[in-house]
Structure 1
Amino acid sequence: MRTQVAIIGGGPSGLLLSQLLNRAGIETVVLERQSRAHVLSRIRAGVLERCTVDLLNQAGAGARMQREGYPHDGCYLSSDQKMIRVDFQEACGHTVMVYGQTEVTRDLYDAQDALGATHIHGVENVVLHDLKGAAPSVTWDKDGESFRLECDFIAGCDGFHGVSRRSIPDNMRREYEKVYPFGWLGVLSETPPVRDELIYANHPRGFALASMRNPMLSRYYIQVPLSDKAEDWSDDAFWTELKARLPQDVAADLVTGASIEKSIAPLRSFVSEPLRWGALFLCGDAAHIVPPTGAKGLNLATSDVHYLSQGLLAHYNDNDPSGLDSYSQKALARIWKAMRFSWSVTTMMHRFPEHSEYDRQMQRVELDMLATDPTARKLFAENYTGTPL
C-alpha cells in the first residue's frame, strides 16, 4: 500500500488531520488499534476553544456542533461559599463552546466517511520504519496477516501509550513530567446541569467541578486520592461529597440521579520534545498531557493539527518545507503556554497533601484577584478561551 500521509491513531486529532488533508487533495490512511465503536465510547471533556471551533468548521465537520453545542460566555470559580464569575466576553471578547469530545469524534467520522477516507481499525504490532531515511513506512498485523504502508510522512496521533513517541530514540527525546498526588472521580448522569456555566470549586475537602454536555446530561467531578477506585464510591456517596464541596445555594439546586458512567482519571502534566523526528510528527496526547482543569487537552491536539496541516499543505502545494521545519517550535510554544495555565489553575483550585496555611492563603489571594482585578480576569479569560494560533 502507498499513501502520502500515514496517520497513527483514529482519535480526534488523527481524524481532524485526515479530514483537513483529504479536503485539500492529500491522501491519508488512518490506522487505529481499537474498533470505531470503542473510540466512540470514550468519555472525554467537551470545552472547545474558539480556535478549535474555527478549525472544525474549516474541516467541514462543525455543522452539528453549531446547532447543538452550547456557547459559554464565562465560568464560575468558588471558594469559601463565594462564587466568582469570569465573563469571557467582557474580559477578552471571546467565548468557548461546550460540546462533548465524543460528539466531535462522531462528526469527524461522518465527515471522513463522506469523503471516502481510508481507515483501518484493529491493527496490532505497529512499527514505524526508516523515519530518517528516504522511504518511511509503517507495518502492522491484522487478523493474522502482516501489512506494509509506504508514505511520505507519518503523523503520530496515537496517544500517550502509543508507538509513535517511543519511535524517537531515547537519547534524542527529552520528556518533562509532573504527576499530581490525586485524581478526578467523574460521574456522568442524565440530570439537568446545576448551573448554565461550569463551576470550579475550591473547598477544604478538595476540588469539585460541575459541568454539562446538554440540558439533560451532566458531568461532575471531585478530587480523590490516587488510592481510590471508582467502585469504592456509590452514587449516594458521590452526590453527598459533591454537595459538600459546592457552595450551599448551588448544592441546594443539584438534581441527582443514577450514574451512567463513573471513572477516576489521574492528573499529570507531560511534554515530550521534539515533536518531529525525520518523517515523523507527534500530535496530541502522543506529545503532551495536561490536567483537565484548564480544558486544554483536545484543544492543544487541534492546534497541533493546525500547524502540521498547514506545513503539509505548504509542502505539497508550494514545495515549501518551512512549515514542517518549524512545526515542533511553533506547536511547543503554544503547548507550554497551555501547560502553564493548566498548572496554575490546578494549583489554585486543588488541595495538595503538602499544603500549608501559607499555600492556602496564596490560593485565596489568587481567587480574590480574579474577583477584583480586571487584568487578572482578562489574563484568565484569554488563556481559557485560547491563545491565538
Structure 2
Amino acid sequence: MAVQASELQDSPESTTVVVIGAGPAGMTVATLLRHSGIDCVVLERRSRDHVAQRQRAGIVETRAVRMFDSWGLAERVLGGVPYDGILEFRVDGHSRLVSDSDGSEGPPARLCPQQILVQKLTETFLEDGGDLRFEAADVSLHDLTGDRPTVRYRTADGTLRAITCEFVAGCDGDRGVSRTAVPDGELTAYAFDHGIGWLTVLADAPPPAHPLLATGREGFAAHFPRGPHASRYYLQCPPDDDPGAWSDGRVWDALRTRLGDPALVSGPITDREIFRLRSLVHDPMQYGRLFLVGDAAHIVSPMGGKGMNLALYDADVLARAVRDFVRGDDSALRTYSARCLRRVWNDQEFSHWLTRTLHDAGDCEPFLRHLARARLDRLFTSPAAAGAFAELMTGLDPTGEAVSHSALSDVTGGGGDRTGA
C-alpha cells in the first residue's frame, strides 16, 4: 500500500540521492556516494539481519576488486580471500584447469560471498555517517520526471515519511518497486528463458580447491566454495522440478556421478531450491531522475558469475556520474544507460555462450553436443581462445569502456532517455 501525501504528518526531508534497496548494488552506490561526500538515504524493506544473511554470488571479479581499490575502499569492503584465477572443468570426469589471468598488474578477484560484501559495505557506510533505514514499508516513488522526485515510505513503527531528492537509485531487484514505478511503454524488456533448471544446494561440506564446472551425459553440475567449511552445489534439472524430490542421498549420488568424484565428502545440507535460468534486460536503465541499478535493470544467467558484478559496475558508473553532476558536469548522467547497457549485453553474450556450451556438451542432441565439445576443446588448447575467456571472466575486457562520452551522446541523441543497446 503506497503512502499517500494526505497521510504525511511532517514536512519532507531532503537529500541528494535516495537509494532503494540495501543489497550489493544499493550499498555500493551508497558507500561510494558517501565516500564522495554526497548525501544519500538508503531504504530497505527487510531487516538488517535478513539482508546480512542472504546467500548469493561468491566471486567479486577482478574488475570490481580494482574498482573498489580505485576508490581506496578495497580493504574495508572486501572480505574473503584472493582468488587464484583457476577454474576447473571436468568433461566426462576428465579434468582441465583454465586460468582467467590476463597478465595485467593489480589486485586479483576475490572469493567473497555476497553476504560478506554486503555486511562490510553496510559497516563502512554506517561508520562514515551514512543514513540506512531498514524495514521501510510501502515505498513509493513520485514526480520522477520533475526536478525534485519524492520518495514516500512507512517506518517500522508505522510513521509516514517523505524524502525529496535530486535522484533515485533503484537497487531493489527484479521484483522491487523501482522498476514498477516506470510507466508502461517507457522501457523495452528483452527476455530469454534458457529452458534449464538448477537445483542449488548449500551444505556444510569441504570446498573445492578451485571453482568446478562439470558436464557429461548425466547433465551439468558445479561445486563452488562458500567459506572455509561450506560449499554451494548446482545440479541441472527440469525447470519445474520439485526440490522435495531430491533427498539428501539422491543429491550426493548425483553430485558424485556428475562431478566424477566417487569420494566427494558430503555434509549437512542447509538449503536447497530450484530456479530457472533466465536472462532479462530493460532498456533504457533510466526514467527521468530514476536510475535502475543491478537486477532492477537486468538479470543474467548465473553461469560466469556476472550478476552481482554487473550490479557493482552499474553502481560505480552511477556514483561517479552523480559526483560529476554535483561538480557541475551532467554528461555522465545523460549517458549512464548507454554505458551500462554496453557492458550488460557483452556479459549477457558471454554468460549465454558458457551456459549453452556446458549444458549442450552433456545430455543434448548429438549434433549440438559435438559443437559444444569442439568449443571446449578450443578453450583448452588454443591460447587465443583461453585469452579471450580470461578477459571476459575477469571483466577487464575493453568493450564496456571503449566508447567515449561524446560518442555515447551521439548514440543516445544527447538525452539518454531512449538508449539503444
1:204 pairs with one of 217, 220, 226: 217
- Deviation digits for residues 8-59 of structure 1, max 9, x if unmatched? 1111110111111111110000011111111112110111111211233455
Determine the C-alpha separation between the residues in 1 that align with 2:369 and 2:363.
11
- Deviation digits for residues 112-148 of structure 1, max 9, x if unmatched? 1201211111122221111111221111223333211
1:265 pairs with one of 260, 264, 275: 275
* Structure 2 residue aligned with 1:301: 311
Determine the C-alpha separation between the residues in 1 that align with 2:259 and 2:50.
33
- Deviation digits for residues 318-360 of structure 1, max 9, x if unmatched? x000010010000000010000000000001115999421111
Q: For residue 252 of structure 1, give the secondary structure of its aligned residue in structure 2.
A: coil
Q: For residue 226 of structure 2, give the secondary structure of its aligned residue in structure 1.
A: strand
* One-letter code aligned to 2:175: H
* One-letter code aligned to 2:243: A
- Deviation digits for residues 78-109 of structure 1, max 9, x if unmatched? 21332222122267778432110110011111
* One-letter code aligned to 2:235: I
1:65-80 equivalent positions in 2, closer than 5 A: 68-80=80-92
- TM-score after normalising by structure 2: 0.87
* Structure 2 residue aligned with 1:327: 336
Q: For residue 350 of structure 1, give the secondary structure of its aligned residue in structure 2.
A: helix
Asked whether the equivalents of residues 65 and 99 of structure 1 are also in contact (C-alpha less than 8 Å), the reply is no
* Structure 2 residue aligned with 1:369: 378
Asked whether the equivalents of residues 218 and 362 of structure 2 are also in contact (C-alpha less than 8 Å), the reply is no
Determine the C-alpha separation between the residues in 2 that align with 1:93 and 1:111.
27
Query: Where in structure 2 are there 5+ consecutive unaligned residues?
Result: 1-12, 402-421
Asked whether the equivalents of residues 92 and 381 of structure 1 are also in contact (C-alpha less than 8 Å), the reply is no
Report deviation, 1:208.
0.5
Determine the C-alpha separation between the residues in 2 that align with 1:213 and 1:163.
30
1:316-355 equivalent positions in 2, closer than 5 A: 316-317=326-327, 319-351=328-360, 355=364
Question: Is 1:8 equivalent to 2:20 in the alignment?
Answer: yes
1:32-71 equivalent positions in 2, closer than 5 A: 32-58=44-70, 61-63=73-75, 68-71=80-83
Determine the C-alpha separation between the residues in 2 that align with 1:379 and 1:306.
24
* Structure 1 residue aligned with 2:30: 18
Determine the C-alpha separation between the residues in 2 that align with 1:187 and 1:105.
21
Asked whether the equivalents of residues 60 and 111 of structure 1 are also in contact (C-alpha less than 8 Å), the reply is no
Structure (1/2) with the larger helix percentage: 1
Determine the C-alpha separation between the residues in 2 that align with 1:38 and 1:190.
20
* Structure 1 residue aligned with 2:264: 254
* One-letter code aligned to 1:196: A
* Structure 1 residue aligned with 2:194: 180
* Structure 1 residue aligned with 2:249: 236
1:97 pairs with one of 97, 103, 110: 110
Q: For residue 293 of structure 1, give the secondary structure of its aligned residue in structure 2.
A: coil
Determine the C-alpha separation between the residues in 1 that align with 2:73 and 2:45.
23
Determine the C-alpha separation between the residues in 2 that align with 1:59 and 1:235.
44
- Deviation digits for residues 245-288 of structure 1, max 9, x if unmatched? 112xxx13421111122222321100001011111100000000
CA RMSD after TM alignment: 2.0
* One-letter code aligned to 2:54: R
CA change 1:363–1:212 in 2 (3 A) is: same
Asked whether the equivalents of residues 123 and 140 of structure 1 are also in contact (C-alpha less than 8 Å), the reply is yes
Moved more, 349-358 or 263-272: 349-358
Moved more, 252-261 or 284-293: 252-261
Determine the C-alpha separation between the residues in 2 that align with 1:382 and 1:17.
25
